[in-house]
Structure 1
Amino acid sequence: MYGEDESYVVLYRKKIDIAYSLNENSQYNYLNIIAMKTDPLGNVRGYSDLYSQWMLPCPTIRKASGSNLLKFSVDYRHRCTVGAKQLYSESETVIFEPFIKYIDDDSKDSTPVLHTVPTLVKGNLVHFNKDSDVNTWQLIKRFYLFDKTSGISNVNGVQVIKYFRYAKYIEIRIRIRRKGKGERSKIYPPLFIVHYAELSEDDVNVDVNVNMEFAITYELDGASMVNGMEIAVGSISAFGILYTILQTWSYSRRLGILGFDAFTILQFFIFACGNLANSFFIVSFGASSYSFIINKMQKVVYMLPPTKKDEYVIQTYIIVAFSLKIFEVLAINWKQINVDISFIDWEKPNQPLLEIGIKTPSKTNLKAEAPKSFWRPYFVANEWNEIQTMRKISLPLHLVACIFALEVFGASSWTRVGVQVDSNRSTEFITSPAYQLAASGLIFLSLYSIQLMLSLFLYERYIKNAILDFMDVCSIANVSLLILDAPLHGYYLHGRSIHATCETDARGLQPGLPYRAFSIRCTPDFRLYFSRLSTHMVINGVKWQWQHHMSTADDRPNLDSSATAGLNSARKSSGRSSRREDSDMAGNGLPSVINHREQAAKLINKFLTAFLDHALEDLDYEVREKHFLERIFDIELMDEGNYKTLFLYNTSGDSQSFQRTIWYGQEWTLVTFDLYLFCLVQITTGSYVVAALVTAVVWKFLEMCRQYAGKKNLAKKTLVDERFLI
């Protein structure tokens, strides 16, 4: 037994002056721990290696790993369950005194040196060593695995078991020196930690199951990553909040809000959730990957696997990241299924009809259209409905590839705590949740990048590009697409033919302009006209009161009475046919409702075509290229004194604007959601297959909900009969 005040000195003594190696061919790649065996009377019975049958408490461990148990820097854990009768009958009382055997570098004759290994007894059967303070520990030099002496008495020649004491948990804790010159890969004296438990005679007779465990763990001075992760989260989150402020400012301008209100605060919260989720995941995944790569490639011990505290923090960050990402994904889908969408039919009628009295402030009259073939808008609507939930990759194919890489090809074995990356599938070597995160994340992102590049540069370029195909369909059908995702912001896809009919090539919005997709920054005047006409399209529905998201009347340009009167007259001055339809609606029900909705659609189409043809003097627009900052941060740098609607095009991509209203344009948000979910389920359940299945089920559920709601919104906003949408 050591003295009461010797614990710290014994545990941090630098007597073992040998540098162990991570090279498997080196003789110092293993720790050589032996034990002197004595019986209860003090008779020496010889020496035993650690992995021999006399040293380890689990009978099954003797055939498990042999000398690989003490491979340097590799954690090990083995659990077993043994019947009480078997344990009692096969055990004997042997006292062990452990030593570590090595050859001192300063020794001239290579004489082996034995250094005593201290033992710490803990558990419910002892009343000391409860504190975590090393200075209060009482260390000893010897221990036993089974006690069949003190708790067993002989009554009339019959053994009576009062208690049978055994070591239910043994841990060899090895601490690696880190500080100081030349201290790399050197160790302090190892420490045996033993927990004892007892069995009664009834337990032995009933043959209860006894759980036993043996572990080898390595520690490194000052190796915790918690402080670094906390600093990294704070730094990255600060940039995330700054970007959140920029996003909120941009979106509030799209709403027409000049100050702060409850809706602005809600948008700030949603943007913050997405940015903070990315911050937490970047830190946890980055720390795990850094530790994983360094640990697998190091030749000298610079880093050990994350500690239990590190793993707890990493798992907490993953849970927080996924929880925050849920809000962002729900908010994006909610915006997409509530956009205002209109089809602008450029097809010329065969003959003019009655004039409809829609008068703008410039007294410009809009005329009604003759009946046109209905197949073109319906065809465009079906094509749009098909691409609403389309993504840049196939998620089921991606998840199958991940399972093959992790389970079939053995990449999951990388998570074993150790230096080399190998395909050893032994469950006895400890797997780190942090390494599971690193391995699953690296495989997920690597395979995703490969599939994404194949999709963008091979499949979409040479086989099929659904987005460009949709744009071509609009041009063939002579139909343009207007999408408003905010009161003062939206997207425009130009599909107008250069001729009166659709059987010809497409043209740009302006002569000489080859771009067809634009972002729109609306003026309050334009949105007011459009909103009032849109109310005709929903009979007995709830009108979108976008004015609640606008600035106060003092901050908006004044609309003169002629403008308001012109819009109000749209419902009254549509000629005899309009009055006849109103009468039919009052008397005949559904047919008149359909006529009313069709008439409202004609009004909107006439208004938008006149607007795009610059036929409305007080409602005009201009076209310009997006600035660099506008492209990078997805904002509009518009002068507040400019009361013209802006059509902004991006020279780097003709179809990049309106994609943000469908899943295809939100790929980063969706794939990070899939990644966070996959990693969370994996580190929680420990199964890559379960993680893939849960991710696939959640994706399919979201896709079905998004497709259903998007289809409803499309039918409602465009007046296309839902029964014709495939």
Structure 2
Amino acid sequence: MIIPLELRNIHYAKTIKILNILSNGGAYMQPPVIVIEYDELTLSDIGKGTLVEITFETEYRMNLDSHIRDVWIAIGVLCGLGIILALIQTCIWHSRAGKQIIDLGTIGKFLLYIIHIVGTIFFIVMVGVSLWWLIFFKRPGSAFLVIPTSIQQTSFTVLVVVTFILKSLDILHIIIRQSNIDIFFMDWEKPKSNDITDVSVWRTYFVANEYSELQTFRRVNSTFHIIAVLFFLKVINLENVATAQPGTNLFPSSSNYNADYNGILRVGIAFSMWLATALVQYLVYVIFYQRFVEDRIINFIDLCSVSNISVFILMDNQYGYYIHGRSPHGITDVDMKEMMINLERESQANSGRRGLETNSDDQIFIIKVDRPVRSQYDLLLRSYQHRILTRVNKKIEERESEILLVSYRGLNEFLCAFINRSLPTYPYTIRHRNLFENLLNCEFRTANTSELLDHTESLFLIDHDRNFSKTIFAGYENSLFIWNTATFLFVDYFASNYVLAAIITYLLNLIAVQIRQSLGQQNLAKKTLIPKSFLI
């Protein structure tokens, strides 16, 4: 019997997929749909004993439109509240900047606050959704939630991308803002003779260099943080929690079925590790290291007192911080023996206290200066910058040194006299922040008796919370943590590679640190009248 040619091929089921569709939030399951893909096998292949691969898989789907809608409703509500918060922060900044009208700078600041707040909202929603999916999808015993399809996952992809972009812009704003503050190191040291030049400048240079190193200080070490996250994800194999199948097997054998990874689940487990390791590191630093080893911020304040140097900072036009470093001993440019004697007297309470007020230890203040103080500060600082810019050539280095010395003395004498209350036209009051000021992070200043002359007193608010750290990276620990995490999650979401994500996160963080350090040193040299060559 001759078999017709068209009958010499055999059809077989190459792929069998059982599609299960859940409804009513996973409470019910519709009748399954079986999808079969066929292929052909010739009789000659059968005679040769050819082996073919047959795939069998089960896929669960459900309508996630309501979940996606709820996510965007939450984002809309939170962003609406965020815009109100951004408006409040802009009003506070407008007051601190001493502005009278709403200009382009005010509008730009409002947009920057929106970027910061909306970026944080997107980050919170992103990690919240990923953790919710991770918990309920991996929950054993019931099919409550399924992995979304690529089309259903589009909204989550938007969250990941927008979060990374907005938080990167936010960090760039923080770096630029911190690198443009007005800062001056006030020297309280008096000359030992009638020669006013008989005062060592090395104390000022030393304090300036310590502040320069402090600019990029963080309580959470980013390098250790990244290594710890990789250890949990790759060594302990918590990465396998992100497989697109219920249940968890951290160390599957080669014979077991290994499902593909899912981007949402990878975000969830990675964020969990970032948060856990950051919290542990922060608590260890605050509870143990800061108390029993060293507190770099307090050490810097102690250095100011030992050096007889105060730090005057204006982050905005009329708002900033003051660190009172005036030594209770009057003179600190002494030999080692005299310094040890002074410290011993201080430890035994046989000398004055370090605080700005009598019998006080308060050295850190939030300040809000009035317009006359700011105008005089700008006048003295610009006099040096104007003279340098109008030099005929760069050969007159001695002349430049004289200009620098005169300008430095003028600004130093003005600020010292202002702090000493030796200038009746520039009064200020010292007080604690009230409850509303602490809650809103703002300052309420009332006009004095000369209100008709549009004159107000400057404010010195005792800063127990070390808000001074807002001038360095340590004051924005939360923003930096969110940015580092968002960078890691962004890279891994598209590359599905935790190691690559860690490398890129480390490099971007290193670039941010280097930019902040470089711009910070340039700003110190420009604003403190200290030559950049003396900043290490």
Q: Is the 8 A contact 1:223 1:303 kept in 2?
A: no
Retained in 1: the 8 A contact 2:64–2:152? no
Summarize the alignment of residues 579-594 of structure 1 with structure 2, pairs less than 5 Å apart. Answer: 589-594=396-401
RMSD of the TM alignment (CA)? 2.8
Query: 1:508 corresponds to which residue?
Result: 355
| Secondary structure of the structure 1 residue equivalent to 2:315 | strand
Query: In the alignment, which residue of structure 1 is the partner of 2:192?
Result: 350
- Asked if the contact 1:380–1:473 (Cα under 8 Å) also holds between the matched residues in 2, the reply is yes
Partner of 2:24: 178
Asked if residue 525 in structure 1 is aligned to residue 372 in structure 2, the reply is: yes
Moved over 6 A (4+): 164-168, 197-200, 210-213, 585-588
Q: Is 1:609 aligned to residue 439 of structure 2?
A: no
The DSSP-based 3-state class of the residue aligned with 2:19 is: strand
Structure 1 residues 596 and 427 mapped into 2: Cα distance closer, same or farther (>3 Å)? farther
The DSSP-based 3-state class of the residue aligned with 1:512 is coil
Give 1:518 deviation, angstroms: 0.9
Q: Could you tell me which residue of structure 2 aligns to residue 495 of structure 1?
A: 325
Name the amino acid aligned to 2:493. Answer: I
Q: Deviations over 1:381-432 (max 9, x none)?
A: 1111111111111111111110110111011111123332331446741322
3-state SS, counterpart of residue 184 of structure 2:
strand
Deviation digits for residues 277-319 of structure 1 (CA, Å, limit 9, x no counterpart): 1111111211111121123235333333344344221121111
Structure 2 segments unaligned to the other structure (5+ residues): 43-51, 333-338, 347-352
The match for 2:177 is 335
Alignment partner of 2:291 out of 461, 464, 469: 461
The question of whether the paired residues in 2 share the 8 Å contact of 1:630 and 1:637 is answered with yes
Q: 2:140·2:247 contact (CA, 8 Å) conserved in 1?
A: no
Task: State the shift of 1:166 in Å.
Answer: 7.3
1:596 paired residue among 403, 418, 424: 403
Task: Report the residue type matching 2:215 in the other structure.
Answer: Q
**CA apart distance, 1:153:** 4.0
Cα gap change, 1:269/1:167 in structure 2, threshold over 3 Å: closer, same or farther? farther
Q: Which residue of 1 aligns with 2:113?
A: 271
1:136 maps to what in 2?
none
Which secondary structure state, in structure 2, belongs to the residue aligned with residue 330 of structure 1?
Answer: helix
Question: Which residue does 2:277 correspond to in 1?
Answer: 447
Name the structure, 1 or 2, with higher relative contact order (CA <8 Å, separation 6+): 2
Structure number, greater radius of gyration: 1
Q: Select which of 636, 639, 647 maps to 2:460.
A: 647
Question: Which position in structure 1 is the counterpart of 2:336?
Answer: none
Correspondence 1:263-662 to 2 at 5 A? 263-352=105-194, 369-425=196-252, 428-502=258-332, 503=339, 504=342, 505=346, 507-539=354-386, 589-639=396-446, 641=451, 643-651=456-464, 653=465, 656-662=466-472
Match of 2:517 among 692, 702, 707: 707
Offset at residue 534 of structure 1 (A):
0.5
**One-letter amino acid of the counterpart of residue 269, structure 1:** L
| Contact 2:387–2:403 (8 Å) recurs in 1 | no
Higher strand share: 1
Contact 1:480 1:495 in 2 (8 A): yes
- Distance change (3 Å), C-alpha of 1:333 and 1:480: same
Q: Which residue matches 2:49?
A: none
Aligned length: 499
- What letter is aligned with 1:671? F
Contact in 2 for aligned 1:284/1:318 (Cα 8 Å): yes
Deviations 1:591-612 (A, max 9, x none): 1111111110000000011000
Tell me the CA shift for residue 225 of structure 1. 2.0
How many angstroms apart in 2 are the aligned matches of 1:639 and 1:212? 81
CA distance in 2, matches of 1:427, 1:340: 62
CA distance in 2, matches of 1:530, 1:663: 26
Q: Matched residues in 1 for 2:427 and 2:210: separation?
A: 30
Q: Which residue of 2 aligns with 1:669?
A: 479
Which residues of structure 1 form unaligned runs of 5+? Answer: 1-148, 201-209, 354-368, 544-581
Q: What amino acid does structure 2 have at the position aligned with 1:622?
A: T
Q: After superposition, what is the alpha-carbon deviation per residue over 1:504-561, rounded to whole angstroms, capped at 9, x for unaligned?
A: 4451111133211111111111000000000133256679xxxxxxxxxxxxxxxxxx
1:698 correspondence with 2:508: yes
Query: For the residues of structure 1 that align with 2:318 and 2:389, how far apart are their CA atoms?
Result: 20
TM-score, with normalisation over the residues of structure 1? 0.65
* Matched residue type, 1:350: K
Q: CA deviation at 1:177?
A: 4.5
